[in-house]
Amino acid sequence: MALKLSDYKTTVHNDWCPGCGDFGIVNALQMALAEMGIERDKATIFSGIGCSGKTSHFINTYGIHTLHGRVLTFAQGGKLANPEMTVLAVGGDGDGLGIGAGHFVAAGRRNIDMTYIIFDNGVYGLTKGQASPTLRLGEKTKSLPSPNTNYNVNPIGLAVASGFTFVARAYSYDVRHLKDLIVQAVKHKGLSFLDVLQPCPTYNDLNTRDWYAGEDLAKESLERHSRIYKLEDTHFDPVVHYADEKELDEKLAQALIKSLEWGNKIPTGIFYKNETISPFTTRLTDKIPNYLENPPAKQNISKDGIPTTDISKILDSLKV
């Protein structure tokens, strides 16, 4: 029986603030799962801590709401043990790029076949609006006592540098585009990263829905004034086709340069996509040939309570 969008929704009360950008992301996630027809019990949403951490409770698949900063670690463990499962990890920008930044970098190096979505709003919402790692130097959102004294992390640049093989950005109020990117990210063979820009209507009074829509720019121009534009509408080609060094350098460089574009024009879409880098599965099957047919979660370890693992050869080697 084909699954409907409503099948992916739970009845759990959603306590996000009215107008929160998180709604667009959770809707897009449900739409993407429905569009791909992923069985509900073959997908797990892992989430971090904070408002975005509650996402897993609103989606009717397996949902694991983990610890602050640690979502990628749980998600990778789950995917490695049961590689059949579709795994999505979600969390805030503070979660993934502050406390969890080490895991972000390490996950990139592994390139495990799963998707990581960062809800990027520039503030720590649930603790009342402190500056997050993506808030820009000198900016003062409304609950900060004084302007931000730290330079911002560049999530796209960091992902590209860390080895993520699919790196994209979306805007939470463009739900269809976000949904399309989630679908592409999930289908990507390797670790995909989506940086989703989203207003926090309560604590980020700078990067608001109106700001993204370019309301302040409207006076200067009567034409389209939204800050958000799509890379696919330009001549930008993010895909590494040949894996020769020159092409690779160019694609990495253009992704990094593009990621720095901010202000009146903010690019969304795919910045970088490289399927010539081996996913972690390949690295494992190179040394454990039957890993995919007989992964940890599927292995029989006992028969009637008696272990079936045979260590007699190792014990023989220890014989005196």
Partner 1 sequence: MSSIDFSWLIGGPQGSGVESGANVFSKVCAGLGYQIFGKREFHSNIKGDHSYFTVRVSDKLIHSNVNDVNLMISFDAETIFRHYDEVMSGGGIIYDSDLEKITTDSVRTLDNYFKERLHQELESKNKPFTIEGILEVAKEKGVNLYPVSFKSILASLAEDTENPRLKGMVRMFNVIGVSLSLGLIKMPSDSLLQSIDSIFSKKPQIAEINKQAANYSYNYAASKFTNFSFTLPGIQKQSDTILVQGHQGTSLGKMVSGCRFQSYYPITPASDESVFLESNEILEVHDDRPGSTIVIQTEDEISAIGMMIGSALTGTRSSTSTSGPGFALMAEAIGWSGMNEVPIVLTVYQRSGPSTGLPTRHGQDDLLFAVAGSFGDFPKIVYASGDIEESFYDTGNCFNYSDVYQVPVIHMMDKFLSSSVVTCKRFDPQKITINRGKLLDKIEGEYKRFAFTDDGISPRSRLGLDNGIFWNTGDESDEFGHITEDPQMRIKMMDKRMSKLDLILKQVPENEQIVSYGVYDYTIISWGSTKGPILDALEMLKKEGIDIGFIQIKLLHPFPEEIVKSILKNVKTVIDIEANHSGQLGKIFKQNVTREIDYFILKYSGRGMTSTEIYDSLKKIIENKANKREVLDHGS
Q: Which residues of the shown chain bind partner 1 in the complex (CB under 8 A)?
A: 10, 12, 40-42, 44, 46, 49, 54, 56-57, 60-67, 69-70, 72-82, 84-85, 102-103, 105-106, 284, 287-288, 290-291, 293-294, 296-297, 299-303, 305-315, 318-320
Nearest distance in Å: CB 66, partner 1: 7
Nearest distance in Å: CB 304, partner 1: 9
Nearest distance in Å: CB 38, partner 1: 12
Nearest distance in Å: CB 33, partner 1: 13
The closest alpha carbon to 205, from 294, 262, 139, belongs to 139
Which lies closer to partner 1 via its Cβ, residue 183 or residue 284? 284
Q: What is the DSSP string of 218-241?
A: HTT-SS---SEEEGGGTT---B--
- Which long-range contacts (C-beta less than 8 Å, at least 24 apart) are formed by 264-267? 264/214, 264/217, 264/227, 265/227, 265/229, 266/171, 266/197, 266/212, 266/227, 266/228, 266/229, 267/169, 267/229, 267/230, 267/231, 267/236
Nearest distance in Å: CB 166, partner 1: 21
DSSP label of 115: E
Which lies closer to partner 1 via its Cβ, residue 73 or residue 274? 73
Nearest distance in Å: CB 3, partner 1: 13
What's the N-to-C CA distance of the chain in angstroms? 62
Q: Specify whether the CB–CB gap between 115 and 186 falls below 8 A.
A: yes
Which lies closer to partner 1 via its Cβ, residue 128 or residue 298? 298
Nearest distance in Å: CB 127, partner 1: 15
Q: Specify whether the CB–CB gap between 279 and 76 falls below 8 A.
A: no
What 3-state class would DSSP assign to 157?
helix
Which lies closer to partner 1 via its Cβ, residue 74 or residue 173? 74
Nearest distance in Å: CB 160, partner 1: 18
Which lies closer to partner 1 via its Cβ, residue 142 or residue 298? 298
Q: What gap in Å lies between CA 208 and CA 50, rounded to an integer? A: 19
Which lies closer to partner 1 via its Cβ, residue 79 or residue 258? 79
Tokens of 283: 């690295």
Which lies closer to partner 1 via its Cβ, residue 219 or residue 303? 303
Which lies closer to partner 1 via its Cβ, residue 146 or residue 312? 312
Strand partners for 117: 90, 194
Sign of CA dihedral 72, 78, 80, 82: negative
What 3-state class would DSSP assign to 167?
strand
What 3-state class would DSSP assign to 43?
strand
